[in-house]
Amino acid sequence: DGGITQSPKYLFRKEGQNVTLSCEQNLNHDAMYWYRQDPGQGLRLIYYSQIVNDFQKGDIAEGYSVSREKKESFPLTVTSAQKNPTAFYLCASRPLAGNNEQYFGPGTRLTVT
Amino acid sequence: QKEVEQNSGPLSVPEGAIASLNCTYSDRGSQSFFWYRQYSGKSPELIMFIYSNGDKEDGRFTAQLNKASQYVSLLIRDSQPSDSATYLCAVNREGYQKVTFGTGTKLQVIP
């Protein structure tokens, strides 16, 4: 079964803790993306990566970090520096050849209290 | 001005009617246009993409693109209650890796 997996589906953390969200894909896609979605605000790009060991900041990268050590994996760390981390986090991927259509994983809902 | 604008709705249509969802964009260099459907609490699902002016049909869905007027629309024929969701418009500039999303239009299909 090809697709994008994100785990866990729900995550609860105390303020001040770093937390890492998992994203794995077996679609052989080159590019991977992390978005954040808040109510009424649509999707905002956090980081993206086109190839292994390379990634670029999106529009709201402050307080987040990523790594891309394998083509299949693009984990996102929400650090304690992120002021409002509670949100729905979406990972997406796409092949580099194509028309930029992105495919999304099921998402992780992070709640920080 | 937002890069991609959508009316947040909700847009209410009776079952069996045509739902018309609209999206305008500001970047004249935009080349690729996408419609995603997002059910409450779920992730977006790609339902249509269009690159050329005119209409593109896929089953009950038709995407319409007018680059001169900088708008793209999605028509859903024979609307069903299962079509009730938020529809996100997304736009990409050729050569760019980033896609810009609108905030979405909530559609309610009334049985």
The strand pair at A54-57 and A31-37 is best described as: unpaired
| In the predicted structure, residue A101 carries a pLDDT above the cut 90 | no
Q: Which of A41, A50, A90 is the closest to B43 by Cβ? A: A90
Yes or no, beta carbons of B97 and A106 under 8 Å apart: no
Cα B107 to Cα B81: distance, rounded to the nearest angstrom = 10
- The proportion of chain B whose per-residue pLDDT surpasses 70, expressed as a percent, equals 99
Yes or no, beta carbons of A48 and B103 under 8 Å apart: no
* Nearest C-alpha in B relative to A109: B41
> Amino acid identity, residue B24?
T
Cα B1 to Cα B24: distance, rounded to the nearest angstrom = 11
How many whole angstroms from its chain centre is CA A59? 13
Q: What is the DSSP string of B50-80?
A: E-SSEEEEETTEEEEEETTTTEEEEEESS--
The alpha-carbon gap from B40 to the nearest alpha carbon of chain A, in Å, equals: 11
Q: Is residue A52 within 8 Å of residue A68, measured between CB atoms?
A: yes
Q: What is the DSSP string of A62-78?
A: TTEEE--SBTTB--EEE
Yes or no, beta carbons of B92 and A100 under 8 Å apart: yes
Q: Is residue A36 within 8 Å of residue A44, measured between CB atoms?
A: yes
Sign of the C-alpha dihedral computed for residues B82, A89, A43 and B44 taken in this order: negative
Q: Examine residue B10 and say whether the peptide bond preceding it is cis (omega within 30 degrees of 0).
A: yes
pLDDT in tens, A47-79: 999 999 999 999 999 999 999 999 999 999 999
pLDDT in tens, B26-51: 999 999 999 999 999 999 999 999 99
Average pLDDT score, chain A: 93
| In the predicted structure, residue B97 carries a pLDDT above the cut 90 | no
